[in-house]
Amino acid sequence: MRLLRSLHFRVQCLLWRGHAERDLSDELTDYLERQTQRYIQDGLSPENAHTAALRDAGGPEQLKEACRDVRGTAFIEDVARDLRYGFRVLCKNPSFFVTASLTLALGIGTATTLFSVAESQLWRPLPFPEPNRLAVIWERNLKQKWQASSVAVATFADWRERNHTFASMAAMQWPKRSNFVSGEFRDRPRVAAVSTGFFETLRVLPQVGRTFGLSDEQPGKQTKTILSGKLACQAFGSPEAAIDTAIKLDGETYSVAGVLPDQFRLDLFQTPDVYVPLEVSYAKSRELRDLFVIGRMRPGVTVKGALSDMEVVAQEIAAEHPETNANFSAVVENPLDNLPASVRTFLLLSFAFSIFVLLIACSNVAGLQLMRAVAREREFAVREALGASRPALFRQALTESAWIAMTGAGFGTLLAAWCTHLLRSSPLESMLPRETEVSLNIWSIVFAVAISVGAAFLFGVAPDLLRSKLNLEASLRDSGRSASAGKGVRRRIEILAGGEVTLAFISLFGAGLFVISNWDLQHVPLGFNPRNVLAMEVPLSGATYSKQPEVRKFYERVSQAIATLPGIQEFALSSGIPFLGGEEVTFLRPDRAHPPHGQEPWALTRNVTPEYFQTLGIPIVRGRGFTAEDSEVRPTVAVINENFASHHFHGENPVGKQLAILSKGDSELAERTIQIVGVVGNVRDVGLDEVPFDDLYIPFAQHPLRFMYVVVKTSAPSIGRSLRGRMRQLDPAQFVSDPKPLDSYVGDAIQEPRFNLLLITLFAGFALILTAVALYGTVAFAIAQETREIGIRIALGAQRTGVLDLIFRRVLRLTVAGSICGFGIAFVIGAMFRTALYMVPYEHEGILYRVSIHDPSSFACSALIVLLSAGLTGLIPGIRATKIDPYSALRCE
């Protein structure tokens, strides 16, 4: 209470400063008048009486000052005065002020931008109510290297029924593209089947209409659909217009039950555009695992608690269904743990690099402050001699730093706001896999402010720590320019510069690794020749194509139509193309022992026409490719790739061997035995940096599918449009995608590594420039300090080259020391984070490819660049030093 009143009193005094001053002077006047009257009554003359009264008071100004001290506002008023004074001092030296604050702005700007990106991507929870109660649940295959797997429908039904820790649990099938038809509108959006309660679990309500009810889960009742706000607007003009209209998805009719809010995104799991009800029943397969399950935990339940509950449930299920679930348990994870690990690694790495830039900027400004402190040593000595207290001087130094830091933070935040805006509006945002928007939020601002406060303290304290060691008398007597006075400072500045060289070296080394890795990635053997090849999706849907003969007939017409187009060199049909993966199929070798359940090998399949290998330039290594002879009436054959051969036939000749196909998404191929007739070269199946996949090619004629790509090799890339027009003519009801050059798939795959490279190189560039500025400053300062000494040397006959040599030796010493430290740190850090940086099959993707984490050429290049730039920065002040005129150098002090 007393504290509060006291505070109130102080604030009043501060706010009504004019008021308080008038009161004070009125009170004093009153006293003086009364005392004067008293003296007059005692017999003094009026003038003498007044003087005596003043004398009693001990001087009215001193008295007032004593009263002001009591107010307890002196500190704040002093700080305000210091701030004003500090600003004036800085404005007198604008080049220093501008350099320092811009340097700091660059550092704070980069660090804050990267912090914002990392925060929004890695740490911000899902944008739904009470996000920390959400968890994703996977099946866990105890026998495979990759443990978390999608969930089978019947297993999900059991989980939902038997768990005790989730308030609700819901599933979504991985989205697939389907043909969407509504009147004239055609599209091929992502469609996902979701269980009842999916949106309720996330706590998202449709903007109009309803979600799915329990009855929608029952077999044969899948007649409703929910659309994204965007698709509803595109197809119907407004969300309201969409409700209760009929649409067709792959030929099936659905009625629109609801439209989701426009801002709904679930990017962690590829936000679908269309939702249909998932058929949930215990009768469904326990082996076809294609669901992603999300649950809302009951209040107070932790992920750990939920996990032990789910493990018990999974054990029960395994005991009841040993043939399918014996080796399966469950995993419960925070949804954020499902971020691609490569993105996490890269964001953290670039955040670290931006912190390097910030540290370099900070030490740069600290160095500048130190140099200025030496130049102003005399000023401070005079002030101290005149009675300024140490704390007062300290406070003043601190406020000057605060100005620099505040200006730097201000501009830095502006820079960060601009960068995040740029990032948001650029196509690069698609690389950030989260539904959260990259923006400067409260945490980023707190981060920037914390940095600037820390920086202000650092710069403020550094010169002061130095000054306390100086002898007041010596600095007053000395001119303050002699070499001896600045020795300690120079040592500190050199240490700062050395530290900067270290950080710059690490940044350059990192950038070097990315350059080499990118080079290697761009020259990875693709296994096929993408030049002049176009690929176009021509999937079939609807009742017309539910039987194989119709499918076969349609694609025959496709082939005939393409053959008549001019400018086509080769063409083929394929159910998949490189970089886009393929269908997974599990198989066995009938001539070998049956592996335990859950451990059967699998391969990616592609159903292709015989011309596929020729069109893509995939070499046939052994045996033969497909021919027109491999028709539906002949025994089923297959072609494998070299990985397949080496993984499963270890040196044997696979040609002529049999394979038994176990399961596949559609059952037509299952339970068949096929004969291997040839081996072809490997192609990149999902990306440039990948696990070696086993590929299994099957002739289209023997096993036609409803979703095929047309792959065309042509000398005229402009043919794409007429090609698409031709395909649409064949059946206007079907969707045909735009033909896309295969080159562009390769380009897309390199885009992310290239962006990573760009960012890291940018940071390394900043680091190098700032360090060069620091080195320049260090050398220039040393020369300014030693003008007299150099003058004497020249006067005594030293060669100009000798002087230059002296200076270069100093720069070199700094650079080499810094580089060696950087080398050591980079070596240790590299060893520590080795596994996080490279791809680990089935665990995470890498951000570096092939290049060794201790790549010697990268070390050498970084050292060379640092040395070269150090040499250049030493050159200018060095040449100036050789031109020192000994006569004026000796006289100038």
Partner 1 sequence: MSKPANLVQGTLDLLILKMLDLQPMHGWAILERLKQVSKHTLQVGPGSLYPALHKLEREGWVQAEWSTSEDKRRVKFYSLSKEGRKRLRVEAADWKRLSSAITSIVFAK
The nearer residue to partner 1, 37 or 744, going by C-beta atoms, is: 37
How do beta strands 151-152 and 289-297 pair? Answer: antiparallel
CA distances from residue 344 to 118, 351, 506, 721, 885 in whole angstroms, order as listed: 8, 10, 20, 40, 58
Least distance from partner 1 to the Cβ atom of residue 759, Å: 57
Least distance from partner 1 to the Cβ atom of residue 77, Å: 16
How do beta strands 148-149 and 134-141 pair? Answer: antiparallel
Cβ proximity of 815 and 503 under 8 Å: no
The nearer residue to partner 1, 10 or 647, going by C-beta atoms, is: 10
Least distance from partner 1 to the Cβ atom of residue 18, Å: 15
The nearer residue to partner 1, 14 or 829, going by C-beta atoms, is: 14
The nearer residue to partner 1, 60 or 581, going by C-beta atoms, is: 60
Can you read off the two tokens belonging to residue 639?
């072609």
The nearer residue to partner 1, 2 or 145, going by C-beta atoms, is: 2
The nearer residue to partner 1, 29 or 45, going by C-beta atoms, is: 29
The nearer residue to partner 1, 23 or 316, going by C-beta atoms, is: 23
The nearer residue to partner 1, 60 or 433, going by C-beta atoms, is: 60
Least distance from partner 1 to the Cβ atom of residue 37, Å: 9
HSE (CB half, 13 Å, CA atoms) of 366?
Answer: 30
The nearer residue to partner 1, 35 or 168, going by C-beta atoms, is: 35
Least distance from partner 1 to the Cβ atom of residue 39, Å: 12
Least distance from partner 1 to the Cβ atom of residue 392, Å: 18
The nearer residue to partner 1, 72 or 617, going by C-beta atoms, is: 72
Cβ proximity of 347 and 99 under 8 Å: no
DSSP 123: I
Least distance from partner 1 to the Cβ atom of residue 395, Å: 22
Can you read off the two tokens belonging to residue 219?
């077999």
Least distance from partner 1 to the Cβ atom of residue 80, Å: 21
Give the three-state DSSP class for 588. Answer: strand
Least distance from partner 1 to the Cβ atom of residue 60, Å: 9
Least distance from partner 1 to the Cβ atom of residue 12, Å: 10
Least distance from partner 1 to the Cβ atom of residue 49, Å: 14
Cβ proximity of 661 and 648 under 8 Å: no
Least distance from partner 1 to the Cβ atom of residue 466, Å: 35
- Give CA 844 to chain center in angstroms: 16
| C-alpha span between 706 and 276 (Å, rounded) | 21
Can you read off the two tokens belonging to residue 879?
């040449």
DSSP 121: I
The nearer residue to partner 1, 75 or 185, going by C-beta atoms, is: 75
| C-alpha span between 429 and 313 (Å, rounded) | 40
The nearer residue to partner 1, 6 or 857, going by C-beta atoms, is: 6
Least distance from partner 1 to the Cβ atom of residue 347, Å: 53
DSSP line for 680-699: E----SS-SS-----EEEEE
HSE (CB half, 13 Å, CA atoms) of 236?
Answer: 21
Least distance from partner 1 to the Cβ atom of residue 419, Å: 49
- Residues 6 or more apart whose Cβ sits within 8 Å of residue 246: 182, 253, 254, 255, 256
| C-alpha span between 444 and 466 (Å, rounded) | 33
| C-alpha span between 200 and 211 (Å, rounded) | 8
Q: Which of 131, 130, 110, 250 lies closest to 193, judged by CA?
A: 250
Least distance from partner 1 to the Cβ atom of residue 29, Å: 7
* C-alpha torsion 363→366→367→368, nearest 10: 130
Beta bridge partners of 166: 297
Exposure string of 132-154, with b = 16+ CB inside 10 Å and e = fewer, is ebbbbbbbbbeeeeebbbbbbbb
Amino acid symbol at 439: S
Can you read off the two tokens belonging to residue 431?
């690389």
Contact footprint for partner 1 (CB under 8 A): 2, 5-6, 9-10, 23, 26-31, 33-35, 38, 56-58, 62-63, 66-67, 69-72
The nearer residue to partner 1, 5 or 523, going by C-beta atoms, is: 5
Q: Which of 279, 294, 263 lies closest to 138, judged by CA?
A: 294
* C-alpha torsion 527→533→537→540, nearest 10: -90
Residue ranges with strand state E in 260-298: 274-277, 289-297
Least distance from partner 1 to the Cβ atom of residue 385, Å: 24
Q: Which burial class, exposed, middle or buried, applies to 3 when counting CB atoms under 10 A from its CB (0-12, 13-18, 19+)?
A: exposed
Q: Which of 704, 605, 583, 580 lies closest to 659, judged by CA?
A: 605
The nearer residue to partner 1, 25 or 835, going by C-beta atoms, is: 25
The nearer residue to partner 1, 4 or 442, going by C-beta atoms, is: 4
| C-alpha span between 195 and 198 (Å, rounded) | 6
- End-to-end distance of the chain based on CA atoms, in angstroms? 62
The nearer residue to partner 1, 64 or 230, going by C-beta atoms, is: 64
CA distances from residue 64 to 28, 34, 58 in whole angstroms, order as listed: 8, 18, 10
